[in-house]
Structure 1
Amino acid sequence: MRLTGKTAVVTGASRGIGRAIALGLADEGASLMITGTNEDLLKERVEEVKKRGVDCIYYVGDASLAETAQATIEEAKIHYGTIDILVNNAGINQRSTTLEMSIDDWQRVMDVNLNGTLYFCQAVLPLMIENRAGKIINVSSTAAKAPHRNAAPSYGASKAGVDYLTKHLALEMAPHQIYVNAICPGPIETDMSKQWTDEYRQTVLEKIPLGRIGEPKHVAETAVFLASSMSDFITGQSINVNGGTLMS
């Protein structure tokens, strides 16, 4: 129970990687504020977390809006008194070529993936600075480091921005004992991957040295490590969780 007594905010926690991270933190004793846009799914996640013996509340809102970030952090602070961990997981992807992609589509991906991450960091940092402690974990992607034909350019560009923001905040916040790291998942079994054709799945598998597609729990376990004291000399890193697909 490495996170007993800690409070965490997890965005985009209703399904997939976000759900796995929320449950992973709860399994280690953290109380949670979870966010997303689907209230029914958030209510289900709250019940899953509470079955693990820790408290959980939720906030319904669009992560691309600064007011969502402020309201989420404020409610968590009122309910728990403090926030020790922030996981910026909320994100969207679109699949189009550069010429097919509309400006509105580009902006929407940037608003959720990059701007939303900034808004939540800006909302929580004053409290963490006051406490002289905090762990921020940004969920990025290996698409931030290498182009991918199966994603619109907006996705990789937004995640590359998340990687830079992670490094910048890590440098800026180090004097306050606030750690900022990112996780860069590669191929992970989610609702999206279940829509792949058998042919495409085989193409993906052939590029993974470990020979299998990852599971959300692999990302969650990395998040638990970064949220705990086990990572107390690690900051400003973007950690690949991809079965060796991209090595750096």
Structure 2
Amino acid sequence: MLLQEQAAVVTGASRGIGRAIALTLARHGASVVINGTREELLESLAGEIRQLGGNCIVCAGDVSNEKVASHVIEAAVGHFGKIDILVNNAGINNRSSTLEMGIDDWQKVMDVNLNSALYFCRAALPFMIERKYGKIVNVTSTTAKTPHRNAAPSYGASKAGVNYLTQHLALEMAKHNIYVNAICPGPIDTDMSQQWTEEYRREAIARIPLGKLGTPQNVADAVLFLASSMSDFITGESINLNGGTYMN
């Protein structure tokens, strides 16, 4: 129980990676506030967490709205008296090329992927500063570090922005005993990847040195590490989790 008596917020928790993160934090003792846009999926997840004996609150809403960020963080503090852990996981992708991509599409990806991380951090940090403790984990992407033909430029640029925000906040907040790190997943076997053709799946796996796709649980385990005391001398890092597809 690495997170006993801690309170966590997880965005983008409706399914896939976010769902696995919320369940993993709860299994290790954290009380969890889960956010996403699919309220029925969030309620199902909350029921599963409660069956495990955990505490869970559902706060549905669009993370690109700054007021939603304030509401979610205030719900955590109101119900649990504090916020120890913030996981900015919510994100969307766009697969159009630079010339095909509409400016509205660019802005939407930026709003959800980058701006939301800023909104949630700004909402949570005053409470963390007051208690002189906090762990922030931003889920970005390998595409933040190297381009990918299957992602629009908005996706990589937004995730690269989150990586920089991670470093900047880590530098600013170190004096308050607040740790800020990021995880950069590569090919993960989620609902999205299950829509691939068999040919594309084989090609994707062939490009991975470890010869397999990652799982949502792989990402959740890395989040657990960064959210727990095991990572108490790590801040400002963007950790690759991609089976070796990008190394630095």
TM-score by length of 1: 0.99
Q: Which residue of 2 aligns with 1:171?
A: 171
Post-superposition, which runs of at least 4 consecutive aligned residues in structure 1 deviate over 2 A?
Answer: none
- Shift of the alpha carbon at 1:131? 0.3
Distance 2:131 2:25 in 1: 21
RMSD: 0.5
- Shift of the alpha carbon at 1:18? 0.1
- Shift of the alpha carbon at 1:76? 1.1
Structure 2 residue 182 is the aligned partner of structure 1 residue 182? yes
Within 5 Å, which residues of 2 pair with 1:68-83? Answer: 68-83=68-83
Distance 1:30 1:52 in 2: 12
Q: Which residue of 1 aligns with 2:52?
A: 52
Unaligned 5+ residue runs, structure 2?
Answer: none
SS at match of 1:37: coil
Q: Which residue of 2 aligns with 1:144?
A: 144
Q: Which amino acid aligns with 1:231?
A: S
SS at match of 1:175: helix
Q: Which residue of 1 aligns with 2:92?
A: 92
Distance 1:207 1:92 in 2: 23
- Shift of the alpha carbon at 1:66? 0.4
- Shift of the alpha carbon at 1:223? 0.3
TM-score by length of 2: 0.99
Distance 1:52 1:100 in 2: 46
Q: Which amino acid aligns with 1:154?
A: S
Q: Which residue of 2 aligns with 1:118?
A: 118
Distance 2:31 2:241 in 1: 25
Distance 1:76 1:6 in 2: 11
Distance 1:151 1:232 in 2: 34
Unaligned 5+ residue runs, structure 1?
Answer: none
Distance 2:58 2:108 in 1: 23
- Shift of the alpha carbon at 1:48? 1.1
Distance 2:224 2:50 in 1: 18
Distance 2:199 2:72 in 1: 42
Distance 2:52 2:174 in 1: 33
Q: Which amino acid aligns with 2:203?
A: T
SS at match of 2:59: strand
Q: Which residue of 2 aligns with 1:27?
A: 27
Using the aligned pairs only, state the percent identity.
67
- Shift of the alpha carbon at 1:206? 1.1
